[in-house]
Amino acid sequence: MLKNLRVTTSKYIDETSRISFKFNGKAYFGYKGDTLASALLANDVHLVGRSFKYHRPRGIMTSGSEEPNAIVQVNNNTALTEPNVRATELEIYHGLEATSQNCWPSVHFDIGGINNFLSPLLPAGFYYKTFMWPANFWEKYEYVIRHSAGLGKSPTEPDPDIYDHKYIHCDVLVIGAGISGIIAAKTAAKNNLKTLLLDEKNEIGGSTIYQNSEHVKINDQNSSTWLENEISELRNIKNLEIKTRTSVAAYHGYNYLLARENLTDHLPKNEKNKKIRQRLLKIRAKKVIVATGSLERPLVFNNNDRPGIMLSSAVKKYADYYGVATGQKNIFFTNNDTAYESAISLNKKGIKVKAIIDIREQSNTAFTKEAENLGIKVYRSHTVVNTEGYKKINKITIMELSRDGQSFASPEKIELDCDCLAITGGWTPAVHLFTQSGGKLKFREKDQVFIPDIYPSNQISIGSSNGDFELDDIIKNSTKSLKEFLNINETEFDNLEINCPKDNQIRTIWLLPSDKVLGKTKPFVDYQNDATAKDIKLALKEGFKSIEHVKRYTTTGMGTDQGKLGNMHALGIIADTADIKVGELGTTTFRPPYTPLTFGTMVGRNVGEYFDVFRRTPMNDWHIKNKAEFENVGQWKRAWYYPKNDETMHDAVQRESKAARDSAGILDASTLGKIDIQGTDASEFLNRVYTNAWSKLAIGKCRYGLMLNEDGMVYDDGVTTRLDENHYIMTTTTGGAANVLGKLEDYLQTEWPELDVYLSSVTDHYATASICGPNSKKILNKLIPDLDLSDESFPHMSFSNAKIDNIKCRIMRISFTGEHSYEINIQANYGEDLWKKCMEAGEEFNITPYGTETMHLLRAEKGFIIVGQDTDGTMTPIDLQMDWIVSKKKYDFIGKRSLYRSDTMKEDRKQLVGLVTDNPTEVLEEGAQIVATINQTPVEMLGHVTSSYYSPNLNKSIALAVVRGGKNMLGQKLFIPMEGKNINVTIVDPVFFDKENVRLNV
Amino acid sequence: MFNYKTSIKGNITYSDLTIEEFKPIMKLIIRGKTKDFITAIGKNLNMVLPTEANTSTSAEKLTAFWLSPDEWMLISNETVSEDSNTYQVEDELIKNISKVKLGAVTDVSDQFVMLNIKGSKVFDLFATGSPFNFNEFKNKKGSVVQTILFHIDVIVHLTEINEVNLFVRRSFSEHLHSWLNDSASRL
């Protein structure tokens, strides 16, 4: 029979809405408003997992995002599975199935528990000293290590959930909706500032909304009642947007923050469908107010990790907020007064508090007095030296501390039965986001806390995240800071009457003494990674001094909780051991995310078809309809080849290539960059950006141009046409278009502002159909009968304006294939129809559409380079045997100076050559390395193959390659070593076909 | 006759949001730096070009967007014929601006697709994919901005409160349209 530890109703739990869920295969129920943790505790389930290294039984320790132990696998063995979910944050819903992690076969009986007994062999850093012998066993060790690593299991199927992003701009962002955050948000919004208030919990109000102490009053009301009234007013304030279940993950520079908004994780399965699961908020705020509160510290003592050992504030929250008793024989162990408030609260609900163990000698505040008045036994100057109970705590042993707190006043031990030990070691301000943003901390000795000191601009911290722990300090200091920060004179909170206990004295002992030697104890500092105080001292002994090294050597603070509970203790133990001040040590670097983010949240809708942006040509639909296979060229989808009747790519390309040279081919060339250039200095501009000369290019003529970077290396090429006296159109490579335009515009604006030149991109404005082959002229003649296509009127490398059915177009007679060729440029929305008209006109000539693969082959037959294929940013024009295109007369052009560096003038640079194979049917692999000798080690690599095809027009394989000193090696035989064979090749002229260019005029 | 075919296949309609392509719209890029250029434009078009960044001006037949200190886009306020790509305005400007060396005139009618987006959720839609702060923009009719939407460069012009014309390069338009539909479906 399941025990029910729900002892009281709570307005935050809807007991009319019963929810059934499963944990480790067993059915339980809870209520709407419960987290998995509160529901399990209500069912008296404490054992929820096993620790990482020692597989020690672990229970729920906290009530929030700092939870180290109660991390579970949700929806195991489904596409929705998620590892390492904190049970303290997971709101239960109908159908929830969660399982413990890091245990097999079950959390109650775990084979890995043997590690606990082997723990002397597994101290921090043991893996640096083991698994080395014998060396050939390493792969066996690796297999075991890999299977032991991690806690939860990654999903193996695609995530079916939908995630999204949202950009938000606001005047003021308030992070944290506890009492100080609510004051800040209300103040900002009522002063007409667009305000966004975020909180990671499902209800706002922090811990104050369930505070029910007689000793804490605001304007004579209970603090919780006062705050509830403020919250109800918040909803009606214009300018204020509140988001709950939203955790700020990262605080970047200039007030750019990322937050994760959970939208459906708390909903029943049938209500989640097709809704956004989580959303990444990308927030840009003019001002940020950090009100992230503070995290309770545990205490570090022997066996401080058993199920049933919990933070005192968590025990209070489970009782006051969730109405759940975490135990029936509760004991509190403390170094400050907050445990007394928790104990009193439990007592008032009828939950038994057996004792309070207080390491301080005395405390005389309202809380301590009330606790004693209620008859709760207080053991002053005592510490816990041991706990017992393997799967749930059942006993503690305490001893009286010496005055200095380092040993014992007497050897007497007292044993106390308990089933829940609530511990508190004070509070650590949550300064993670503050430091992520670049803020600097200072150390306050009084209560051993790091608090904000130097702020980046437009940011403040308030409340306990700023080191204020008492309510009057919180409210007074917050309002004072807000007035200055928001530049206002007064707030409605200026004259509140606040009563609260003062002088909460804290006594910090980072590592509480034990009656056993340290080596025989297990005082955990990092619960998740099983790092103990002994490990930290070992690291120091082994020479690691810096906190960053100790962290990594011991893995303290490196788990999914990022050491939220234990990092301060690690610092304290290091400081005490090394006899330095904690303030001098500093903290390790806080990095985002604050709590784990799913990949889905980070990626948003950039999945599937939206993973990358795709660009399509105007003829795209026609290509699809005609069964083209596509390839990605940058972001463009380009027709790659058009297989017919189950052709392979090779067969299709062979057919297309032959048809283009035998009769006619047509290529969609719309993707090439097109830049319109106008201005009286357009010619001069072209002279500066290309290597060759442009001033004398006649109107109506086209010229091929090569562009270099300032280092002299080729980075783009294309044909530019002179349309009119001061008007050119430049083409670029498909992939280089945006870069080229950006670079040219940059030069005009920054280097040559005196030039009268204007650039406009028209890449998308024009569709381009390129018709090539011996029958291309006949086809064009059918399309435009009135256009004079004679070589005299329309020679190669010229252009003509024309009209087809009243639509203006431009026709360039240029060729990338070496065939007689025309490129028709027409406004894009007529592009598909133009293509169809070309196909219709060309039908009698067997016009064959060809794709990029055939285009590559045909140009390679002519030895034409493709920038980015045959070049890689390290080739000069001379390397490419294109000396002819480098003007000797021009005063200057981009990259000219670099061509005369000693390095670029060397004779043995890699140079473009042609390669043929001894076996003409053997096609080389692109990228294959080229060597001169085979049986030499190490072998010198002379170069590599850049382009390689089987040419149906030459009936042999051809390749372009770059080879060291290649242009002087014509006829030389070389080798291409491949796996299992060596291929013999000969260096030849890179122009394989029609070297005289006769076919241009056929 | 030529078949005029755009990249957008259909309208998008949700409650509080509709997306429709307006086409064919004449679009010209005009560029120039000098006072003479500005004067000539004013004389030829009978309108003043916007000189303040990210604003627009309108005349009876045309609207002009500021794109940069020496660059504007002119669009026709009404659709033009699908059966011709000769525009009188363009011819006039070529004659009176580029031929007399005052500046540059470039037809970009099909460079950009124009989408009209209207409804109370227009800016919720943009918030899912654009980092631009639309808080002030959305209250000032005639505002223009060049920004990114779903990784794609766009120009946005506020014509009325909760109504914009969005301009995107034709090659990106199909993909953007698909993403707009996807994002709008969850608003």
The model's pLDDT over A239-277, given as tens digits with 9 standing for 90+, comes to 999 999 999 999 999 999 999 999 999 998 888 888 999
Torsion B22-B23-B29-B35 (CA) sign: negative
Whether chain A has a CB inside 8 Å of the CB on B146: the answer is no
> What's the number of CA atoms in the CB half-sphere (13 Å) around residue A974?
31
Cβ–Cβ of A806/B186 closer than 8 Å?
no
pTM of the model as a whole: 0.93
CA-CA distance, A118 to A105, in Å (whole number)? 19
**Nearest CB to A760: which of B106, B128, B130?**
B106
* All residues at 6 or more sequence positions from A105 whose CB lies less than 8 Å from its CB, including other chains: A111
Neighbours of A905 (CB within 10 A): 11
Check: CB of residue A561 under 8 Å from CB of residue A528.
yes
| A4 and A43 Cβ atoms separated by less than 8 Å | yes
Minimal C-alpha gap between A276 and chain B (Å): 8
pLDDT digits (tens, 9 = 90+) for A516-535: 998 899 999 999 999 999 99
Please name the residue that has the structure tokens 């692109």: A926
Q: Is the pLDDT of residue A763 over 70?
A: yes
Share of chain B above pLDDT 70, in %: 100
Using the predicted structure, report yes or no on whether residue A2 has a pLDDT greater than 70. Answer: no
- Predicted confidence (pLDDT) at residue A8 exceeds the cutoff of 80: no
More confident of the two residues A595 and B74: B74
Cβ distance B110 to A680 less than 8 Å, yes or no, reads: no
* Sign of the CA dihedral running A512, A514, A519, A523: negative
CA-nearest residue to A617 within chain B is: B171
Residue A151: how many CA atoms within 13 Å on its side-chain side? 31
8 Å CB contact between B2 and A830: yes
Chain A within 8 Å of B60 (Cβ-Cβ)? Answer: no
pLDDT at residue A445 above 60?
yes
Q: What's residue A215's pLDDT?
A: 92
Mean pLDDT of B140-156: 98
Terminal CA-to-CA distance of chain A, rounded, Å?
95
Contacts of A285 in chain B (CB under 8 A): none
More confident residue, A332 or A5: A332
Indicate whether A159 pLDDT > 70: yes
A268 three-class SS: coil
Q: Do residue B186 and residue A636 have CB atoms under 8 angstroms apart? A: no
What SS3 string covers A567-581? HHHHHHHHHHHHCCC
CB of B103 less than 8 A from some CB of A: yes
d(CA A38, CA A201): 14
Nearest CA in chain A to B110: A765
Structure tokens at B128: 């899912």
Amino acid sitting at position B69: P
Residue A409 carries which side chain, given as an amino acid letter?
A
Q: Please name the member of A167, A804, A829 whose beta carbon is closest to the beta carbon of B4.
A: A829
Residue B169 has pLDDT above 70, yes or no: yes
Instruction: Please give the structure tokens belonging to residue A791.
Output: 């070589």
Examine the pLDDT at A190 and tell me if it is beyond 70. yes
Q: State the pLDDT confidence band at A122, using cuts at 50, 70 and 90.
A: confident
Output the pLDDT for position A695.
93
Distance CA(B187)–CA(B180), nearest Å, equals 11
Q: What is the mean pLDDT of chain A?
A: 95
Backbone angles phi, psi at B67, to 5 degrees: -115, -30
A510: Cβ contacts below 8 Å, ≥ 6 apart: A300, A569, A572, A573, A575, A576
Which of B103, B132, B135 has its CB closest to that of A758?
Answer: B103
Mean pLDDT, residues A422-432 taken together: 96
Is residue A1's pLDDT more than 70? Answer: no
Q: How far is B66 from chain A (nearest CA, A)?
A: 15
- Cis peptide leading into residue B24 (ω within 30°): yes
pLDDT at A3: 67
B6·A829 Cβ contact <8 A: yes
Task: Determine how many CB atoms are found less than 10 A away from the CB of residue A724.
Answer: 13
Mean per-residue pLDDT, A120-138: 83
Tokens of A871: 């070049």
**Chain B CB contacts of A605 below 8 Å:** 128, 179, 182-183
CB A41 within 8 A of CB A60: yes
What order do you get walking across the sheet with B56-58 strand by strand? B56-58, B62-68, B71-76, B27-31, B104-107
Rg over CA atoms, chain A: 38
Burial A933-950 (b: 16+ CB within 10 A, else e): eeeeeeeeebbbbbbbbb
* pLDDT bucket at A104, cuts 50 / 70 / 90: confident
Residue of A837, A833, A825 lying closest to A767 (CA atoms): A825
The mean pLDDT value for A144-173 works out to 91
Provide, rounded to the nearest whole percent, the portion of chain A with pLDDT above 70.
100
Q: Are B29 and A162 within 8 A, CB to CB?
A: no
Q: How many other CB atoms are there within 10 angstroms of residue A956's CB atom?
A: 16
Beta-carbon separation of A760 and B6 below 8 A: no
- What six digits make up the tokens of B19? 């997306």
Tokens encoding A235: 């909803």
Asked if the C-beta of B95 comes within 8 angstroms of chain A's C-beta atoms, the answer is no
pLDDT band at A166 (very low <50, low <70, confident <90, very high): very high
Which of A943, A879, A942, A885 is CA-nearest to residue A911? A879
**Cross-chain residue pair A766–B110, CB shorter than 8 Å:** yes
- Strand order across the beta sheet in which A420-424 lies: A309-311, A420-424, A330-334, A353-358, A377-380
What is the pLDDT averaged over residues A569-584?
A: 93
Closest chain B residue to the Cα of A834, Cα to Cα: B2
The span from the first CA to the last CA of chain B, in angstroms, equals 42
Question: CA of B100: how far to CAs of A678, A681, A722, A738, B96, in Å?
Answer: 12, 14, 17, 30, 6
Name the residue among A391, A543, A540 with its Cα closest to residue A57.
Answer: A391
d(CA B71, CA A758): 9
Assign A835 to helix, strand or coil.
helix
Residue range A545-554: mean pLDDT, rounded: 90
CA A527 to chain centre: 27
Round to whole Å and give the CA distance between A472 and A460.
19
Strands (E) across A87-143 are located at: 97-100
pLDDT at A125: 81
Tokens of A168: 């938000």
Which residue do the tokens 């695609």 mark?
A: A158
Instruction: Kindly list the residues from chain B whose CB atom is less than 8 angstroms away from the CB atom of residue A275.
Output: 186
pLDDT bucket at A112, cuts 50 / 70 / 90: confident
Long-range contacts, A628-633 (Cβ 8 Å, 24+): A628/A849, A628/A851, A629/A851, A631/A851, A631/A852, A631/A853, A633/A671, A633/A734, A633/A735, A633/A852
What does the pLDDT look like over B6-55, one tens digit per residue? 999 999 999 999 999 999 999 999 999 999 999 999 999 999 999 999 99
pLDDT digits (tens, 9 = 90+) for B20-33: 999 999 999 999 99
Q: Let me know: does A690 contact A722? Beta carbons within 8 Å.
A: no
Tell whether B85 lies on the interface with A, counting CB pairs under 8 A: yes
Nearest-CB residue to B106 (from A284, A676, A680):
A676
Contact list, A194 vs chain B (CB under 8 Å): 135
- For residue A987, name the pLDDT band (cuts at 50, 70, 90): very high
Nearest Cα to A731, choosing from A696, A707, A713? A707
ipTM over 0.95: yes
User: For residues A51 and A151, what is the distance between their CA atoms, to the nearest angstrom?
Assistant: 9
Res. A379: pLDDT tops 90: yes
Q: What is the pLDDT of residue A274?
A: 85
Integer CA distances (angstroms), A693 to A297, A713, A945, in order:
75, 18, 31
Q: Which residues pair with A823 in a beta bridge?
A: A770, A812
Which residue on chain B is closest to A725 by alpha carbon? B99
Q: Which of residues 20-59 of B touch A (CB under 8 A)?
A: 23-24, 29, 31-32
Query: What amino acid occupies position B58?
Result: S
Cβ neighbours of A742 (radius 10 Å): 11
Using an 8 Å Cβ cutoff, are A107 and A69 in contact? no
Residue type present at position A324: V
Tell me if A758 and B130 make a contact (CB, 8 A cut-off). no
Q: Who among A167, A614, A830 is closest to B2 (CB)?
A: A830
Q: Which helix (H) or strand (E) holds A71?
A: strand A71-74
A–B CB contacts, 8 A cutoff, strictly below: 140
Which of helix, strand or coil describes residue A257?
A: strand
- What pLDDT, on the 0 to 100 scale, is given for residue A241? 97
Residue listed under structure tokens 């300090």: A473
Residue of B nearest to A637 (CA): B171
Which residue has better confidence, A840 or A546?
A: A840
Q: A636 vs B171: CB contact, 8 Å cut-off? A: yes
d(CA A960, CA A944): 9
